[in-house]
Amino acid sequence: MYLAAFAAPAAPTPPQTEADALYAQRGEVAKARRAADLWEQQLRTSADFDAAWKLARARFWLGSHANEKERKTFLEAGIAAGRAAVSRQPNRPEGHFWIAANMGALAESFGLRQGLKYRGDIRDELMTVLKLDAAFQQGSADRALGRWYLKVPGLFGGSKKKSEEHLRRSLAYNQNSISSRFFLAETLLEMDRKAEALAELRRVGELQPDPDWIPEDQEFKAKAQRLLATLLQRR
């Protein structure tokens, strides 16, 4: 079975190649939408695992960048796509992670009821990712768990201390992760450790976006700049 890792990869189908190229330009929402449409079409005629998890990822992006009236629908559809990926390959992390990501976006964006509905499932999916591949996407499960522990009320399992622990674990996979450092800054602020938070926000401002995550990193850098300016004004 290990020899398969050295075999020449199969050529992707044209729709998949086109979808990947479109998604790489997701800063233009229309291109992300077209990529999602292509992956959805592919799933209608095949049981393609990659199409399923990539569709879940694209719907997550659209769930925060499409028209506001569409966002909840995209995120719910993203959960469904993630579950389709898990049904095909339950021992791969991608489906589990993007289920959690779409649920997390629903929980953060659509009120307490959504948060309570999904909080347990989000944690369970992320813990599954940790068991399957803790290094997946440079520690993305720990990064997301750090966010989970910060946003969930203590009565329901939230913990600022655990938030910091998970975020620092994620940084072990990539010390230059813009998103991890931004989330860590937010956690440190909630812990009344303002000087450390300011240092993290300044670090975010100095870092270069990851080539695979340029749109996301640019948004986090902008958020960090705004938060830093607000905090400095309060001095």
Residue with tokens 């050295």: 6
Going by pLDDT thresholds of 50, 70 and 90, the confidence category of residue 14 is very low
**Who's near 81: CB < 8 A, 6+ residues apart?**
39, 43, 52, 53, 55, 56, 59, 98
Find out if CATH 1.20.120.1200 is the number for domain 15-133: no
**Who's near 208: CB < 8 A, 6+ residues apart?**
176
CA 3 to chain centre: 32
Average pLDDT, the chain: 91
Tens digits of residue pLDDT in 148-201: 999 998 888 999 999 999 999 999 999 999 999 999 999 999 999 999 999 999
Q: What is the distance between the alpha carbons of residues 138 and 136, in angstroms, rounded to a whole number?
A: 5
**Cα angle, residue 125 at apex, residues 186 and 71 outer, rounded to 5°:** 65
pLDDT > 50? residue 143: yes
Position 114 scores a pLDDT of 63
What would you measure as the largest C-alpha separation in the chain, in angstroms? 60
Q: What is the distance between the alpha carbons of residues 93 and 82, in angstroms, rounded to a whole number?
A: 10
Position 29 scores a pLDDT of 97
Mean pLDDT value across residues 77-103: 98
Provide the percentage of residues in the chain whose pLDDT is more than 90.
83
Residue 32: CB atoms within 10 Å: 25
Higher pLDDT, 109 or 76: 76
- Domain residue ranges in the chain: 15-133
Position 113 scores a pLDDT of 66
Length of the chain equals 235
Position 3 scores a pLDDT of 36
Q: What is the distance between the alpha carbons of residues 37 and 55, in angstroms, rounded to a whole number?
A: 8
Q: What is the distance between the alpha carbons of residues 128 and 28, in angstroms, rounded to a whole number?
A: 32
CA 158 to chain centre: 19
Q: Are 200 and 221 in contact (CB under 8 A)?
A: no
Q: Are 15 and 42 in contact (CB under 8 A)?
A: yes
